[in-house]
A and B are shown apart, each in its own frame.
Chain A
Amino acid sequence: MSNEQHTERGRIRVTGFDPEQVRQRDSLSDWTEESGGETEGRFERAWKRFKRNRTALIGLFVVAVLTLLAVFARPITMMGMTVQPFSLAPYDPTTIMYMSPESSAGTYDSPTLSHPMGTDGDGRDLFSRVLYGGRYSISIGFIVVGLSATFGLVYGAISGYYGGWTDEILMRIVDTVYAFPGLILALIIVATLGGGYWQLVAAFAIPGWITYARLIRGEVLTIKENEYVMAAKALGARDRSVIFKHIVPNAMPPLIVYGTLNIGTVVIGVAALGFLGLGMPPGTAEWGTMLDQTRETLIQGPGGAIPWWATVFPGGAIFLFVMAMNMIGDGVNDAFDAQETGIEGQGGG
């Protein structure tokens, strides 16, 4: 048997196996190591599609501009240091024009060159206030979505992955909070904590994580049946790394889509609370709070000229931002092709 092929592998002698033959035989699929390197990830592909979406890019541009305007509206000082020295807004948002000697403006002045959006019922420059007002709404929107998405992600992933009793209990909690319609729980929380910046964040983050948890749980339930999850478990990966390294990355697209659209919803909600007089303290240059101040005048009819500018501009700013945010959200949705999580079923505060 001297012509029989054999291979030596350490101390094991393999007979009847020719490595040359394996190397030369036809491959079972088209896969080669090079092609594997060229495959784009899901996120790269989504980004490429997103870049081609003109509507979404316009939205991104508008959001960026509004954010920059809000940041550079007035100088920002932190702990005595001026972090941001620029000042795009001509006046301080709280300056009452007729109190300052160099201005002749009164209350409810119509738009002029020196006050492009007119003045409000207290004689403050509306243009400065609208620019500055973005700081509240926009930053609260992003913070709330960040907080609730993070918490909802962990919560939903745990619930979906472990199933059984854990899932049952965690989901009953979710169902309970879900039974509060939109703004009601936020209203109760703000009534409890009082108005203010972080109170508003809490008011929207506390009911906000629910949808993320439900979304992620649903995704995890399907993803955990995949073979690669079983493979990871078989290789001895710990639960934590199975969940966060293997399952969660694949559950991200619907979460990102919902998160983008959610920013707009939160911004409307914050403004709605401001409008109801429960958000920031009265007089704050927050978009919704500004509308609250002009509503009475509008309803009673001021006798004479109607100060439409005091209603049109702050509300228009909210509308513009939310619209742009939703355009981005739609674009992200198309890019991921995750049709099951659209904008539908929310909106309108």
Chain B
Amino acid sequence: MSLRRFILKRLLSIVPILFGVSVITFALVHLTPGDPISQMTATNPHMTAADEAQMRARYGLDGPVWEQYLTWMGNVLTGDFGEVISSGQDVSSVIIARLPETIALGLFGWVFGLVIAIPTGIYAAINKDQIADTVSRFVALSGISIPNFWLGLMLILIGALWLEIWTVLPPSRLPLYHPQMLFYLILPGITIGTAAAASIMRVMRTSMAEELNKEYVTAARAKGLPERQVILKHVLRNSLISVVTLAATLTASIVAGSVVVEVVFNWPGLGREFIEAINQREINLIMAITLFTGVFIVLANLLADILYAVLDPRIRYE
């Protein structure tokens, strides 16, 4: 199968997957007792049963669940994700407003992970089974084991409350593109990137150590290449294959991590919005964010597979 057909087939398979995701989410959310409208009815004595019915009709929340689902699906196919019931905002405009915040955070964490992990991984592999390697392995294991929310709290505790380098939250929230925001991205960025960094470091070390044992390395050394060139030109290229693939897969864990980390740092991104949506049972918002991340995850996994196939010509796609 050609690469093009492989990609096409995988892209097509996204459709039923997203359909399934939407059905599962819709069903679960609708099993949940209570929604913003019943909350309004409960808190507002002026709302009559007729008002409630009228509101339900307006938001498509009357009728059997399958009918509601079909209405919702029809709207989504025309690009209409509905409204946030409690505020009346468009769901798509909320997502567009929040998305850059999450992307900035995730990107920072991801770059942080790669920048820390790749050199450390190389260093550990070259000095395999020496002290530096043992220490870095221990650090990597800690990085994987540390709960990200606790890491975030500890960074606030150390960086903001004890050392007072940062204020806990940006003084008055600056726009995201303000250069000073880069400074305030550091703590949440580290928090979100640590687990990724630790995973990449371990894979980098393992695959590099494996490559170093291969015969072409001996050959390169035997013909008198300087060690630096052997490592950077030959070994690194081959061992990066699994790292690149992993880095693509890790975007999923970064997306999931953003939910918790944004709550820790009060970061106004999609993740925090999702938690609020869950707490207030904002069905349209929950649906939209879940679908959105679903698309993202599926595409990231596809990208990982494609990268793997492109980088290693021995891989066959089925």
A: which residues have CB within 8 A of B? 172-173, 175-185, 187-189, 191-192, 264, 268, 271-272, 275-278, 288, 291, 294-295, 298-301, 306, 308, 311-312, 315-316, 318-319, 322-323, 325-327, 330, 339, 342-349
Contact = CB atoms under 8 A, between A and B. Distances in A.
Interface string B238-271: 0000000010011011011101100110100000
Interface residues of B, number: 64
Contacts of A326: 141, 144-145
Contacts of B257: 182, 348-349
Contact of A318 (B13, B21, B150, B202): B150
Interface in B124-159: 141-150, 153-154, 156-157
B203 A348 contact: no
Among A181, A295, A319, the most chain B Cβ lie within 10 Å of the Cβ of A181
Main DSSP-derived SS at the B contact region: helix
5 contacts: A179-B17, A183-B259, A275-B263, A316-B150, A345-B199
Among B32, B141, B286, B294, the most chain A Cβ lie within 10 Å of the Cβ of B141
Contacts of A318: 147, 150
B194 interface: yes
B28 A278 contact: no
B144 A299 contact: no
Given A179-B297, A347-B253, A306 B157 contact: yes
Interface of B: 13, 16-18, 20-21, 24-25, 28-29, 31-32, 141-150, 153-154, 156-157, 161-162, 168-169, 194-196, 198-199, 202-203, 206, 246, 249-250, 252-253, 255-257, 259-260, 263-264, 266, 274-275, 278-279, 281, 286, 290, 293-294, 296-298, 301
Given A180-B21, A180-B290, A275 B145 contact: no
Contact of A344 (B147, B203, B256): B203
Nearest to A299: B168
Minimum-distance CB pairs A-B, first 10: A348-B195, A182-B256, A315-B150, A176-B20, A347-B144, A323-B145, A181-B256, A322-B145, A179-B294, A347-B195
Contacts of A188: 25, 28-29, 278, 286, 290
A100 to B, nearest CB: 29
Contacts of B296: 181
Nearest to B19: A176
Main DSSP-derived SS at the A contact region: helix
Given A319-B145, A342-B202, A345-B249, 5 more contacts: A179-B21, A272-B260, A275-B149, A276-B259, A345-B246
B161 A306 contact: yes
A345 B250 contact: yes
A177 B32 CA distance: 19
Contacts of A278: 278
A112 B28 CA distance: 47
Nearest to B289: A184
Given A188-B29, A272-B147, A322-B147, A180 B294 contact: yes
A319 B142 CA distance: 8
A295 B293 contact: no
A348 B199 CA distance: 10
A319 B156 contact: no
